[in-house]
Amino acid sequence: MDISECLHACVQGRNLSHFILGNLMLPDEIRVHPNVLTAGDYNLFHDLVTDPAAHAQAMSQYTDLDQRLKEIINNEQ
């Protein structure tokens, strides 16, 4: 799965976990307070869960982004 497909799955599933909060696998080079690592998972797309219009807009924006990325890739070949 490439990054675009992963983003699509996250938008469609209305869930994108925060990279740092609650991430016990965070590399040692990234130093944060221990409480940050043990905090609960934080869904950056929470508003998409509670607002169907926001979810529809996010899906539309993802489609636009995906089409634009494909155009860019095709123009480079």
User: Of all helices (H) and strands (E), which one includes residue 73?
Assistant: helix 52-76
Given a cut of 90, whether residue 23 has pLDDT beyond it is: no
The residues spanned by each domain of the chain are: 3-76
Nearest CA to 14 out of 40, 61, 49, 53 is that of 49
Given a cut of 80, whether residue 54 has pLDDT beyond it is: yes
Residues in contact with 36: Cβ distance below 8 Å, sequence separation at least 6, in sequence order:
20, 21
Given a cut of 90, whether residue 29 has pLDDT beyond it is: yes
Taking a C-beta distance cutoff of 8 angstroms, is the pair 10, 45 a contact?
Answer: yes
- The per-residue pLDDT for 41 is 85
